[in-house]
Structure 1
Amino acid sequence: MVHFIETLALLSCAVVVVWLFRKLNLPAILAYLIAGIIVGEHGFSWVTENVNYEHFAELGIVFLLFTLGLEFSFTRLKAMRHLVFAVGGLQVLVSILAFTLVSLLFDLSFGASFTVAAVLALSSTAIVIRQLSETGAMKRKSGQISVAVLLFQDIAVVPLLIIIPMLATGGEGSMLLALLFALVKGVFVVALLFFIGKKLLPPLFDLVAQVRTDELFVLTTLLVTLFAAALTQWFGLSMALGAFLAGMMLGESEYKHQLEADIRPYRDILLGLFFMTIGMKLDPAILVSAPLQTLALIVSFMMIKIVVIRQLAIRAGESAKDGWASGIMLAQMGEFGFVLIALANQNDILPQNVASMLLVAGILSMAITPYMVNNARKWALTLSNTKQIDTSEFEQLPTQRKLKDHVIICGFGRVGQTVSRFLKQEHIDFVAIDIDPLRTSKARQAGENVLFGSSRKAELLNAAQIDTARLVVIAFGEDKQSSEVIQKVRAMAPEVPILVRTKNDDQLDMLQQAGANEVVPESLEGSLMLVSQVLSLSGVPFSRIVRRVQKERKNHYNHLHGFFQGEQTDMSVDSPRKIEFAHAIVLTKDAFAIGKTVGELGLAERRVALLSIKRGEQEIEDLPNDFVLMEQDMVIVRGRPRRVERFEGYINQGET
């Protein structure tokens, strides 16, 4: 019963704090840390036996590394080996050396100094990789450098776990043998996982996929992840390393995206629990008793790590901008540092006051990491004196000529390139803007008019000569970014027509209110194209098909917005607020609406739309306001779920 109450308190606090932080647009990771402080022994002591939770919390890192492994392949990892060893390996060695020397100056023993150095040299895999994934920075060079360093740090944890207990006994010979034995075990288990991943996992998932049972697929994914983690742990290696290798083996399979979707809910919940267990360790009393010392420790070790990583990245041939950005992202202390602190305390290597100070400094450095990761690129550009658009060869058009009545295409992916191909066939000039440097480079080499950068920036729109454009096409399909581009275009060229591509009709009204002249939802256009083919093959005259399709477009897809939801419909937190569903209501004998006209239903004020009424075998559309409702009429309406629910109550019982 006690454990149940503790779990209830843990979840309740997490829900409230995460909701509040999301409302304030603050990172969820920081919310989990604060929630951990509240429920922990230094807060309200609602949860005291957090050791039990830590075992589950570690699985969050395991699942995180599994999803990271899905993004990598062996060939990609092999291509990154110079970053893993030249930057990651040297970062660990140089940082440990520097922090050890500094710690010795404060009269700590060699064992304590080495432990402090090892703790500070590591960075947070969980926070950094999660933030890189959320911000989309994983594919940038700075993100790749950060991942390479984190991979080596996870590997380096193994020898550190061997060395630190031996510092208490001073056995150098046994330490060397233990490290050599660990290396042999590491090579063996990695080779074993590669064999299993290549030979056994693909046919296993083929068999599971043939059963077509989602539960079995999820269970198999969890089993494979935990088996790989347990195997590496059994051989004395990091559980996270085994999960990463398992993910990397499956990253080349056709089930990659399904695996990631299946594991994500477990990963996010357990990662949240992990960050809460970290927050439970924070003793706010230290902040009150020694605030300046704590601040000095945080600033000093973070600055040293930033400079070390920046220098090593430049030495490895990377740009100063990417070096600064990677250093800023990896400046914090890592979750494995807490494991090393606990190990040192068990062996009486680290003084208690030093251990407490490290815990507080580590947690605070982790708390500010989301903010640092989000701003790393901007700060790196400033520190390296690099312009925001640092690919100078993309700043001018290849044609170097004045354009007029041309089309500007924002986003040069598959849709943007298809649009450009048809424009060229009609001899209409165009300028495309795209944020992907590789795509931009290849397109320019082929002679296309493509600018590198963000369509939301005035400089790029001016370079695309928006003042003389006849049309702006926003083709990348991200509604929030599209809205920002629309507002920027409207501010610079109020009269130019704007055509926006969107994936569905969730944000159609928002985009039109932002200033878009036409919004083309892919799902609805796809439906119209399918319908036209169905009608054509069913013998309907082509002229009638064209009229029907044009009518739907003229009415802004009015009859296509609502649909009947099913088991696979996205019903996440935000979806019911923006998706409109179709719903059928049968008027029974005592229904309030019987005998009333359509005009008396107050559809507009209740913000629902009447699609049609079925009366017997007849379905009636485009109903006039004086149409009278009868018993057993089936009223089909469209609207957001809560509005439809209230409307159903109104026409049945007369509720307002």
Structure 2
Amino acid sequence: MHGIFSNIVILMAVAVASVWLFKRINLPPILAYLYCGILAGPDLLALFEHPEDMQTFAELGVVFLLFSLGLEFSLPKMIAMRQMVFGVGLGQMLLTTVAFMGISMLLGVSLPSAIIVGSIVALSSTAIVIKQTNDMGILNTSRAQMAVSILLFQDLAVVPLLIVVPLLAIGGGESLSVAISLSIVKGIVVVFILMSVGKWILPRVFTEVAQTRTDELFVLTTILVALMAAGLTYSFGLSMALGAFLAGMMLGESQYKYQLEADIRPFRDILMGLFFITIGMRLNLTDLLAQWHWALLGLGAMLLIKVLIIRLTGGLFGVPKEDAWAAGFKLCQMGEFSFVIAALAVDHNILSTQVGSLILSIGILSMAMTPWLVTRSSDFAKRIVNAPTPALEASETLASQHEQMHDHVIIMGFGRVGQSVSRLLKSEAIPYLVIDADPVRVHESQSAGQPVYFGDVRQKDILRAVGIERAKLVLITFDEHNKAMAVIQLISSLYPDLPIVVRTRKDYRMSELYSAGASQVVPEILEGSLMLVSQVLHLSGIPMSRILKRVRKERKGHYGNMHGFFPGETTELSYEKQDKLEFMHAVVIANNAFAVGKSLTELNITRSGVKVKGLRRDNIELENPPSDTILNIGDVLVISGKPRRVERAERFLLEGD
């Protein structure tokens, strides 16, 4: 037991170091996990005698990955892009699979193995390509639409491939056709069951769970749904990944989509990391060293052939030459699902360990090149077609502006304040998005056509989902101080230049909110008082220009003149408030007081955080008395500050302690 624990700690340390190192050199974490698996494998550190024992647990990563993929799957989007998806995507998948099937069979590979090899090579890396294009800011441009369409079809094709791989292990024409037919029937039954559950039961379950406002329960329910769906398909003899995908697809159109994705992502990333580590452990370094020349030859052939096939497929469906070439360079690598299918094929003895190691080697090398290829894809395409390189492509910019919201306001909390703000923003044609944690309110708002999403604003994935990196302003309207502090600190750390406006009922919390990173804090009580004073001054005959000047001065000074009040018997002074509220207190200077005959400068009571608000002498009130004012017997000095500081200042004025 002690040895296993030590090996797990060593594995985690190697994983952390590998991910850090690969991120430093701008390589994707997937490669880091594969590298970690190679180090921990039997040929090097040999941390585990039976690495296959980890496989079952690691496969949960694939389940959660397919669940996330289902959440991202949008039927309306696919219908809108159907020509590209089912035209270019299907064409690329079929041509690439057939081409590499033929090459494999010429090299003496059996038909079932050749089908798997062709399918593996036909897939591209959705995770790396989407992330890289998103980081470059071109994900939703017309230039990237062809690549996105192909990736979407490939993601759809993964599901039947995961079903077909175990069936190919059966072998035999009649038995294989019977098995496939039976699987289709089972698949129809499973889809019907899951769709029925998703339509009638799951929305009610998640509505009930969301109303408890318990984050742990929401996360547990999400995991349970994914695992139960996976277990259902597994019990029918189908892939667990299929059930997870269907469960995600059912919930993808609900108002809980972003929150579900954010909740499942930590588990998905950790377990997917473990999955790729187990794949890395399968890499036989002896085989790799023996066939390194085949790995390099296979890499070059794969990159070249995939680029040409994608260019050909794009041309058949009328895609501009430059866009087709660029998509080819973006998608010429293997994908993360290639490793999943390869591992499954090796487990079912469709592929030999030697062939699996060769495919793994080619895949790792191709994925390592992907960030560079994606970055340079447009340049390569322009050179091939001899197109000029404009300083700025207006079509891409306009498409990006059309498809992604820019310079919008993100409203956090959609209560009365948030809704009032949204109406005024809408009247001024200012775009906005809303995040709220009340499921009933989200449902009602969405039904009315409001851009409101359910989610926890303390999670990075939720913030990114509403495009916080492109927003012009964040408005926090909910009155939960600790939650607001956490959100402000998170946003400030990620986007330090993004303005954050916070609404709070508690004026004594202002300094904390400002120190956390808020750009502007609007205290509800003080702002209400300011509006009330404005009305009173206006009805009293004060010119509006003078009133507005006074209001602007108070706001600019963070309501400095409005802080502090005289407490009474009904004033609640809790432990939380006693060091944050500012009280005002009148100190009568008696004939034997320490302060008699001394100036305010000599006394220097402001050093303890107390402010001098006024002085009353001989029934004459003096606001903000000069610092050289000498106190006399009978003077009444009005001071303001936190309760304990006011007490100390009074004791000092009277006794000198």
TM-score range, shorter chain: 0.5 to 0.7
2:555 to 549, 560, 566: 549
CA separation in 2, counterparts of 1:256 and 1:31?
29
- Cα offset for 1:530? 5.0
Aligned equivalent of 2:441: none
- Cα offset for 1:546? 1.9
Aligned equivalent of 1:155: 159
CA separation in 2, counterparts of 1:5 and 1:393?
52
Aligned equivalent of 2:168: 164
- Cα offset for 1:205? 0.8
Question: Where do residues 250-329 of structure 1 align in structure 2 (5 Å cutoff)?
Answer: 250-329=251-330
- Cα offset for 1:222? 0.9
CA 1:349–1:480: 2 relative to 1, 3 Å: same
- Partner letter of residue 22 of structure 1? K
Post-superposition CA distance 1:396-447 (Å, at most 9, x none): xxxxxxxxxxxxxxx953369x9xx99xx9xxxxxx9xxxxxxxxxxxxxxx
CA separation in 2, counterparts of 1:535 and 1:195?
55
- Cα offset for 1:127? 4.7
1:506 aligns with 2:492: yes
Q: TM-score, normalized by length of structure 2?
A: 0.61
1:214 aligns with 2:220: no
CA separation in 1, counterparts of 2:357 and 2:25?
31
Q: How many residues in Structure 1 have an aligned counterpart in Structure 2?
A: 476
Verify the 8 A CA contact 1:88 1:153 in the aligned structure 2: no
- Cα offset for 1:262? 1.4
- Partner letter of residue 145 of structure 1? S
- Partner letter of residue 17 of structure 2? V
CA 1:302–1:552: 2 relative to 1, 3 Å: same
Find the structure with the greater CA-based Rg.
2
CA separation in 2, counterparts of 1:209 and 1:480?
27
Identity %, equivalent residues: 38
1:533 aligns with 2:561: no
Verify the 8 A CA contact 1:65 1:241 in the aligned structure 2: yes
CA separation in 1, counterparts of 2:396 and 2:277?
47
CA 1:383–1:45: 2 relative to 1, 3 Å: farther
Structure 1: 5+ residue stretches without partners: 396-410, 426-431, 433-475, 483-501, 512-518, 555-582, 585-610, 625-630, 635-656
Structure 2: 5+ residue stretches without partners: 399-404, 411-420, 431-466, 474-487, 503-517, 538-546, 561-578, 581-605, 614-623, 628-642, 647-657
CA 1:352–1:235: 2 relative to 1, 3 Å: same
- Partner letter of residue 506 of structure 1? S
- Partner letter of residue 151 of structure 1? D
Verify the 8 A CA contact 2:322 2:381 in the aligned structure 1: yes
- Partner letter of residue 209 of structure 2? V
Post-superposition CA distance 1:315-338 (Å, at most 9, x none): 334444443344334323344544
- Partner letter of residue 102 of structure 1? I
Query: What SS does structure 2 have at the residue aligned with 1:368?
Result: helix
CA 1:4–1:368: 2 relative to 1, 3 Å: farther
CA 1:47–1:88: 2 relative to 1, 3 Å: farther
CA 1:347–1:287: 2 relative to 1, 3 Å: closer
Aligned equivalent of 1:19: 20
CA separation in 1, counterparts of 2:311 and 2:85?
14
CA separation in 1, counterparts of 2:169 and 2:551?
79
CA separation in 2, counterparts of 1:17 and 1:533?
53
- Partner letter of residue 557 of structure 2? K
- Aligned-pair Cα RMSD in Å: 4.6
- Cα offset for 1:614? 5.2
- Cα offset for 1:216? 0.8
- Cα offset for 1:282? 2.6
- Cα offset for 1:38? 1.6
- Partner letter of residue 148 of structure 1? L
Post-superposition CA distance 1:342-373 (Å, at most 9, x none): 56556665455434322322233234334444
CA separation in 2, counterparts of 1:49 and 1:30?
22
CA separation in 2, counterparts of 1:30 and 1:197?
36
- Cα offset for 1:375? 4.7
Farther off after superposition, 328-337 or 32-41: 328-337
CA separation in 1, counterparts of 2:55 and 2:137?
29
Query: What SS does structure 2 have at the residue aligned with 1:527?
Result: strand
Verify the 8 A CA contact 2:162 2:341 in the aligned structure 1: no
CA separation in 2, counterparts of 1:390 and 1:23?
31
Verify the 8 A CA contact 2:282 2:357 in the aligned structure 1: no
- Cα offset for 1:551? 3.3
- Cα offset for 1:545? 3.4
CA separation in 2, counterparts of 1:237 and 1:612?
75
CA 1:54–1:344: 2 relative to 1, 3 Å: closer
CA 1:3–1:370: 2 relative to 1, 3 Å: farther
- Partner letter of residue 107 of structure 2? F
